[in-house]
Amino acid sequence: MTATTPAPSAPVAAPEPPVLAAVDVTKHFAVRSAVGARSVVRAVEGATLDLHRGRVVALVGESGSGKTTLARLLAGFYTPTSGEIALEGVPVRQRRGRVERSYHKDVQLIFQDPFGSLNPLHRVRHNLERPLKLHHGVRGKAELDRRVRELLERVALTPAEQYADKFPHELSGGQRQRVVIARALAVEPKVLLGDEPISMLDVSIRLEMLNLLDRLRTEDGLALLYITHDIASARYLCDDVVVMYAGEMVEGGPKEQVIADPQHPYTRLLVESSPDPGRGARDRDALFDADADGLGEPPSLIDPPPGCRFHPRCPFAMDVCRTQAPPRADLGDGRWARCWLHAADRTITQENE
Amino acid sequence: MRTGLLGAGLVRGWKVRVGLSVIGFFVLLALLGPWLTASIPGLDPRANDLTAIGQPPSAAHWLGTTQFGQDVLAQTIEGARGSLFVGFLSAVIGTALAILVGLPAGYFGGRTDSWLNFLSNLFIVMPVLPLILIVAGYMQGTGLWVIALIIGFFGWSGGARTIRAQAMSVSNRDFVLAMRTLGEPHHRLLFHEVLPHLTGWIAAMFLSGVIGGVMAEAGLAFLGISDSGAISWGTMIQAAQQQSAVLRGMWWWFVPPGLCIALVATAATLVNFGVDELANPKLRTVRRSVVRRAQAAETTVGSDA
């Protein structure tokens, strides 16, 4: 089931099969409270996602919506509770030892925090040489030196000789993140998962990082998953956008349509909450009856609300939203939303509007 | 360069300096002891001088003689060898076991952790002293090697728990996960990513292991568990005790070895303070970067000229 590209005639549909696909993936964590009561955190529920060569998919949502859990599922750190992750059409099951390594030859993850994802005790060179040795059997000092230089130049850390022998603490946040990206590139993966790769960086260098990621996509044909809570950067970099709320995917489709004309109330709220100088302050108030600030917090994932998980905060909530989870409604052009407003019975929508 | 800087960091501060020089002095004594006692006449720890039995310190015998007419100074020098040998060997064994058990427990977690943690808990609750008594009694007639082995084998559990806790926290940091994503095998992650971050803890553990080893050896010797032929500070105190040195006022017999044990323990503790500072990587990072920047500036100046 290729969910983000249902119609072959749609202009966004890539003809080739996805490199990495998650089909109906669910992840529950068992937790135990101090008194010993067991409970289950439903971190990700029924996530379906396709990553294609040379395309960037943005996964947006607020903190705690399960974005990182999904990234880590895709990176192979967790095994899904149910559902399936397929790499080039082959379902990935047990990931141990050699299988794990061959999986990671194709899928690499960039962590959010460039200050935490480099071992402070290793030089830049060590970080880049290890994947070269592990995955490409590169031996010999001269060859390693050449490849390390190449990698550093690709992420624009020049002069490369100077950076190769530095320790992480001698680099700035942006330089560290470049090293992290270079390290992932050293593997020559097909899929790059970016878990909020720019959120810890200074605003002034975010654009450079986005351009770097964009170059990797166009030049190397990487499939990119770009996780963020920043709609503006998603709009800048991505082709498709998928919106997550409380562990569920609520809307997806090509970026322009999703951002310019959000169909799910949560997406609207998200888009409206990103600053836009061209928009009047009134628009948002008009949309949400001036009480969007009072819409409350995201729900607990231990005890999510029944029905649609967004209904306690949704200005358009109906009776059916409180009892039944909405089905996925295809809206054409590769767009879809999981909302009763768009479910088969469109009359409800009209009445509401 | 790194060891040099590490050394420079360590030698900072009087505590570490005093501690290291005291330990260095005793290590030298242990190494050169046999040569010293052999080459200086009248300094044979085993010779019984029947003309001087139980003599207080004098010009001929600087630290007096024992009830058997043995020179106390010679014995103290010779004893440094035995005591420090037991101390260091038992610390090496104990620390190695603590790493072997604690590191995988903290890193792998899950079932591995349950089993290894069970093992260390077992060794923690086991009544160690009676067990050592039994084992040592069972292996009677054996030398300092066995004593060191026994002390090390029964003394690792607390350290394993510390290493486990630290390894657990380091293993969950992003860079370990990142290197795993790169395809690093577990043994590389364990020994190249996680273990280097525990150096401070391990060094501190080793030093307290040395103290513990020296003390335990003395304690065991005092209880009569030791090789009768070997000379260590413990056996000296035990001999003094057996001959009622305290009652007879022969303080020169048991004070030197006792003082030496106390000195070594104090010195190791002082060094530990310095290691504690090193264990905080931030302190070290700052210093290192400053040094490197200074060196970089130097080289550029040099190349310009």
Q: Does B183 touch chain A (CB under 8 A)?
A: yes
Considering Cα of B197, then B203, then B208, then B212, what sign does the dihedral take? positive
Q: How many angstroms from the chain centroid is the CA of residue B16?
A: 15
What's the CA gap between A73 and A96, in Å, rounded? 14
> Measured between alpha carbons, how far is B247 from B254 in angstroms, rounded to an integer?
12
**DSSP readout, chain B?**
-HHHHHHHHHH-SHHHHHHHHHHHHHHHHHHHHHHHHHHSTT--TT---TTSSSPPS-SSSTT-B-TTS-BHHHHHHHHHHHHHHHHHHHHHHHHHHHHHHHHHHHHH-HHHHHHHHHHHHHHHHS-HHHHHHHHHHHTTT--HHHHHHHHHHHS-HHHHHHHHHHHHHHHTSHHHHHHHHTT--HHHIIIIIIGGGGHHHHHHHHHHHHHHHHHHHHHHHHTT-S-SS---HHHHHHHHHHTTHHHHT-HHHHHHHHHHHHHHHHHHHHHHHHHHHHHSHHHHHHHHHHHHHHHHHHHHHHHH-
Q: How far is A120 from chain B (nearest CA, A)?
A: 9
Cβ atoms A216, A53 nearer than 8 A = no
Interface test with A, best of B182, B199, B286 (most A CBs within 10 A): B182
Q: Is A119 on the interface with B (CB under 8 A)?
A: yes
Q: How far is B17 from chain A (nearest CA, A)?
A: 26
Sole residue written with tokens 């052009």 = A333
Cβ contacts of A186 on chain B, cutoff 8 Å: 182
What does the pLDDT read at residue B91?
93
Which chain B residues touch A74 with a CB distance below 8 Å? none
On whether residue B67 sits in a domain, the answer given is yes
More confident residue, B5 or A238: A238
pLDDT digits (tens, 9 = 90+) for B73-92: 888 888 888 888 889 999 99
Contact A169/B174, CB-based, under 8 Å? no
Residue B284 lies in a domain: no
Closest CA to A125 of A185, A183, A209, A189: A183
A170: nearest CA partner in chain B: B289
Instruction: Supply the CATH number for residue B208's domain.
Output: 1.10.3720.10
Contact between chains at A167 and B288 (C-beta distance less than 8 A): yes
Distance CA B47, CA B42 (A): 8
A 158-187 residues inside an 8 A Cβ radius of B: 167, 169-170, 180, 183-184, 186-187
Q: Please tell me if residue A303 touches chain B, with a CB cutoff of 8 Å.
A: no
Average pLDDT score over residue span A222-250: 88
How many domains is chain B built from?
A: 1
**Is residue B18 included in any domain, yes or no?**
no
DSSP letter, residue A335: E
Q: Does A200 touch chain B (CB under 8 A)?
A: no
Interface touch A183/B178, C-beta < 8 Å: yes
A314-to-A271, A303, B25, B111 alpha-carbon distances in Å: 15, 18, 77, 44
* Comparison of pLDDT for A45 and B7, the residue scoring more: A45
Distance separating alpha carbons of residues A28 and A43, to the nearest angstrom: 6
Does residue B138 come out as left (phi exceeding 0), alpha (psi in the -120 to 50 range) or beta?
A: alpha
- Contact residues, chain A, for B292 at CB < 8 Å: 170
Window from A93-107, A125-139, B238-252 with minimum mean pLDDT: A93-107
Q: Residue B167 falls within a domain, yes or no?
A: yes
Sorting pLDDT into bands at 50, 70 and 90, what band is B2?
very low
Residues of chain A neighbouring B196 (CB-CB closer than 8 A):
121
Q: Is A28 on the interface with B (CB under 8 A)?
A: no
Burial of B281 (0-12, 13-18, 19+ CB in 10 A): middle
Chain A CB within 8 Å of residue B273 CB:
no
Minimum mean pLDDT among B130-134, B253-257, B279-283: which range?
B279-283
Nearest to A213 by CA among A287, A155, A300, A136: A155
Cα–Cα dist A333/B179, whole Å: 40
Q: What is the pLDDT of residues B271-293, one digit of tens each?
A: 887 777 665 545 444 455 555 65
Split at pLDDT 50, 70, 90, the class of B102 is: very high
Helix (H, G, I), strand (E, B) or coil at A55: coil
Pairwise pLDDT comparison (B245 vs B98), residue with the higher score: B98
Mean pLDDT of A30-55: 84
Kindly report, residue by residue over B204-228, the tens digit of the pLDDT.
889 889 888 888 888 888 877 777 7
Any A CB within 8 A of B190 CB = no
Q: Hey, are the CB atoms on A111 and B183 less than 8 Å from each other? A: no
The whole-chain average pLDDT of chain B stands at 80
pLDDT at A335 over 60: yes
Give the structural domain span for B245.
Answer: 26-267
> Among A276-280, A302-306, B168-172, whose mean pLDDT is lowest?
A276-280
* B30, part of any domain: yes
> Count of CB atoms within 10 A of residue B196's CB?
15
Span A192-211, average pLDDT = 85
A301 Cα to chain B: minimum distance (Å): 23
Is B281 domain-assigned? no
AA identity, residue B169: S
Rounded to 10°, the helix B110-125/B157-171 angle is 150
Tallying the residues shown for chain B, one arrives at 305
The closest of A276, A290, A292 to A230, measured between CA atoms, is: A276
Task: Say whether residue B175 is in contact with chain A using an 8 A CB cutoff.
Answer: yes
Contacts of A130 in chain B (CB under 8 A): 179, 182, 184, 188
pLDDT of residue B160: 92
Residue B229 falls within a domain, yes or no? yes
- Determine the residue among A74, A117, A151 to mutate to test chain B binding: the one whose Cβ has the most chain B Cβ atoms within 10 Å: A117
Q: Measured between CB atoms, which of A134, A167, A169 is closest to B183?
A: A134
Quote ipTM for the complex.
0.77
- Residue A124 forms contact with B (CB below 8 Å): no
In a domain, B294, yes or no: no
What confidence tier does A290 reach under pLDDT thresholds 50, 70, 90?
Answer: very low
Give the Cα separation of A102 and B305 in Å (integer): 51
Predicted confidence (pLDDT) at residue A286 exceeds the cutoff of 70? no
Which of A10-24, A52-66, A135-149 shows the lowest per-residue confidence on average (mean pLDDT)? A10-24
* Four-CA torsion A130, A135, A140, A143, nearest 10 degrees: -100
